[in-house]
Structure 1
């Protein structure tokens, strides 16, 4: 019993004629009859009653017809859906990442992707750590995870998208705000707002400072980069943060946040610190659906240019 057998049988029941279906399918009447006979042999019952003006299903034939018609409708719908997925015209893309990542890294990509793939839905799941993102991937609840890249994790593939340079965020009135770069030695006497504890970015920064022989003090820690910037603007310390998209134009306030007391921030590059790699993590790239691959590629297309603009527009003080 094949799908073709069932399709022909359903067509015969609807048309009430073997010859009409043969003409419709451009086959011989004998070939159409063979499909029906094969079903009758496998089921062990007569499925069609021959009459002078055509055929009608027997009682057993009606049972099979109703089940086959419903089943074929579902299969045909699924095949259309699979075709849409293969063409990137439907389905969904499920992404997990940190709370502020979508605004910083994906805002432009989402708009571009929507224009290219209007039939694909985007779902975002917020996690508070890279470990949580990997767990979501492992559980199968998401397709892609945007993370700060660290050591390889068994069972996952990581793909870097962009490397983020580091900047020192200082209030506009701070003496360091007039600098066009911050040297490693300048950080030794600075009280820093600590990056998220146990985070990959925090570990990356700590290791880089240690390699440079810098032991910067810190008595404040935060859960995300945006909060570190806000605390720096409030005067609670200086913040060394990655130059994520959206950090340019921070005066008088942070993007998406109200200005704090009319203050402003300057972002001064710290070229001595090695850049922070960020990008995608997945279970297997080859197993991604076409829409998921398309979204990952769209983010990669837009984010590098945006980061370059951030550094050019937001990092720098006077001479």
Structure 2
């Protein structure tokens, strides 16, 4: 099957977003143009890849299998482009860094600013995505460094061949509106106090872990699932519900939202990991050192009532 990479990107976008409308908005095409791309891909493959279901577009088994292959193929295309770009970069000072969304609130911007101040010739390309996507990109050579999340409530990631080092991240926190009954708590909030709360949860692509209800609650009442962090925190600020945030993001909370620690003996926590494959060059080591320094600083400032 000989097809243009854009057709594979179209299929991936539909599977990740769950609809032709959302996929067309992500890729910048009209819905009719995207439908034609899918039709062209189906003609080349000789099988139906998508079907309309009660909740939108659903992939067939063939669609699932081709999309899985497409992810690897597209990663290789992007890795090849990176290598060509690096040839033209002065001093080879370009570093590809990946991080999940909450690392982009404070940790990554501060680290990038530090590197720019200390090593002006080092350029950082930051890619925001979920942990499983980053592991795939790291293996494909699209990333030099990746910030991953691991621990309780998350899958056991396959890190075979991946070198990881833990970075300070602070505890998982509860985010509530400033007028919430718990907002003025001076001590960690007992987890039993959270049983009757309404929760604002994250929503992402299929299989991507999200922050939301407190992990050890048996039957949390989720009143909204929202994709964007600013929207989620806006709902919290309005008093519609509460949510969880990592300490890494606590210093970037909007006006009207405060973060609190939770006393939960059953919660063993999560870890922030910096991952790489193989030896790092000078520019990547500079980024690694900046991330370690800023992680310590952000974790120290990120916990406690705000």
Structure 2 length-normalised TM: 0.60
Q: How many residues were matched structurally?
A: 210
Report the Cα distance in structure 2 between the residues aligned to 1:172 and 1:298, rounded to whole angstroms.
Answer: 33
| Cα offsets for 1:215-241 (capped at 9, x unmatched) | 322132233554432221122211122
Matched, 1:173 2:179: yes
Give 1:186-225 correspondences, 5 Å limit.
186-196=193-203, 198-200=207-209, 202=211, 206=215, 209=216, 214-223=218-227, 225=229
Which secondary structure state, in structure 1, belongs to the residue aligned with residue 173 of structure 2? strand
Query: 2:296 is matched with which residue?
Result: 304
| Structure 1: tracts of 5 or more residues without a match | 1-80
Query: 1:282 is matched with which residue?
Result: 276
| Cα offsets for 1:143-162 (capped at 9, x unmatched) | 01112124352232222102
| Cα offsets for 1:285-307 (capped at 9, x unmatched) | xx222211221121111221222
Matched, 1:237 2:238: no
Report the Cα distance in structure 2 between the residues aligned to 1:308 and 1:144, rounded to whole angstroms.
Answer: 23
Structure 1 length-normalised TM: 0.58
Give 1:1-319 correspondences, 5 Å limit.
90-127=92-129, 129-150=130-151, 151-153=156-158, 154-180=160-186, 181-196=188-203, 198-200=207-209, 202=211, 206=215, 209=216, 214-223=218-227, 225-245=229-249, 247-248=250-251, 250=253, 254=254, 264-272=256-264, 273-284=267-278, 287-312=279-304, 315=305
| Structure 2: tracts of 5 or more residues without a match | 1-85
